[in-house]
Amino acid sequence: MTAPRTVRGTIFAAAGLAALLFAAVPAAAQEAKEVRVAKQFGISYLPMTVMEERKLIEKHAKAAGLGDITVSWTKFSSGAPMNEALISNNLDLASGGVGPVLTIWARTKGNLGVKGVSAINSMPLYLNTINPKIKSLKDFTDSDRIALPAVKVSIQAVTLQMAAEKELGKGKHDALDRLTVSMSHPDALSAMMSGRSEINAHFTSAPFQYQELEDSRVHRVLSSFDVLGGPSTFNTIWATSRFHDANPKLYRAILAALEESTAMINANRSDVADLWIKAENSKLSKDFVMKILNDPANVFTLTPQNVMKYAEFMHRNGSIKEMPASWKDIFFPEIHDKQGS
């Protein structure tokens, strides 16, 4: 029996509408085919180097049914320009210290909603100097200069402020800011070790802090672990809520890639040392790199540690306007099952 003309028309119209809606769904739900990732200088970014060299994001994206994707990697000297690139949609994943991620988290809350993907490591930061007269922060004078990745906002700058408050007293957190100079770690190392630069101190990270301490002229003034009262996260990865929400499969693939790279580091540091030296075209010996990787203070982990101590300090002193209730406010839900702090 043939359906009446009006019924047939309704059926065809409904079918046409369904076809249009069906055609629109894949376009709306389609995930990104390219991921733009940024990292910085130093062996603390080793998990990201492993991800890049072993193409782990591509591997896990394909396993998630996303097919072939392109992953582009760039390198920045500090977190501040990364945040600018992220806000302008020229970057998908940024990485750096806790200071920059807290800054952009507070700045974008309620709009872009930038949050942490995970921690990368827990590693100490050393303030080294070539000036034999400097034994503590009280010994710095107007003739001294401290190099760090970015004044006021880098994790080294924030840690220096926390140390100043602890040693010099409340309200004195910015007492040494006038002595700080923004400089990439490789340039700062060269400047301080030359002995001919105004830079005579360097608040740095691995491997640079270890390289400097190989020279008998250099000594350590403080460690970030002393300031924080124990192990603390150095580096994190962060992204916008827009990227997180629009790419659920890809996001989980990125997290799986980071978990695999971290497991590879913790399972076989010798092979990973070879990989890092080759990838970075490093002149450091394998023995020296292994010394850094085997230092028990250097832990590669996705679990955030002591992030809230940084948040409390930065909020109390006006660096961030928002105060997170817990570390989970700062990071996307996919790592909320970890024992962070």
| Tens of pLDDT, residues 184-193 | 999 999 999 9
- Final residue belonging to a domain, choices 190, 208, 228: 228
Question: Do 114 and 238 share a structural domain?
Answer: yes
Same domain for 145 and 112, yes or no, is no
In a domain, 72, yes or no: yes
Answer whether residue 217 is part of any domain: yes
Pair (282, 219) in one structural domain: no
- Stretch 320-341: mean pLDDT, rounded? 97
* Residues 209 and 165 both lie in one domain: yes
Its domain, for residue 156, covers 126-228
Residue 33's nearest CA partner among 285, 339, 253 is 253
* Same domain flag for 150 and 116: no
One domain, residues 118 and 132: no
Does 16 reside within a domain? no
Tell me whether residue 58 is in a domain.
yes
- The CATH number assigned to the domain holding 180 equals 3.40.190
User: Does a structural domain hold residue 42?
Assistant: yes
When pLDDT is cut at 50, 70 and 90, the band that residue 79 belongs to is confident
Note the pLDDT tens digit of each residue in 5-15: 444 444 444 44
Per the structure, how many domains does the chain have?
Answer: 2
Domain boundary (198, 228, 258) is at 228
Residues 99 and 169 in one domain: no
* 50-57 LR contacts (CB < 8 Å, sep 24+): 50/261, 50/264, 50/265, 50/272, 50/275, 50/276, 51/257, 51/258, 51/261, 52/279, 53/275, 53/279, 54/261, 54/264, 54/275, 56/257, 56/258, 56/260, 56/261, 57/253, 57/254, 57/257
CATH of the domain at 87: 3.40.190.10
Please check whether residue 249 lies inside any domain of the structure.
yes
Enter the tokens of residue 62: 């394909």
170: in domain: yes
- Boundary residue ending a domain (211, 228, 245): 228
**For 29-70, how does the pLDDT look when each residue is reduced to its tens digit (9 = 90+)?**
699 999 999 998 899 999 999 999 999 999 999 999 999 999
149 and 113 in a common domain:
no
Whether residue 204 sits in one domain with residue 72: no
- Do 116 and 79 lie in one domain? The reply is yes
Q: Say if residue 221 is in the same domain as residue 272.
A: no
- For residue 319, being part of any structural domain is answered with yes
Return the pLDDT at 29: 63
273 & 132 share domain: no
* Residue 261 scores a pLDDT above 70: yes
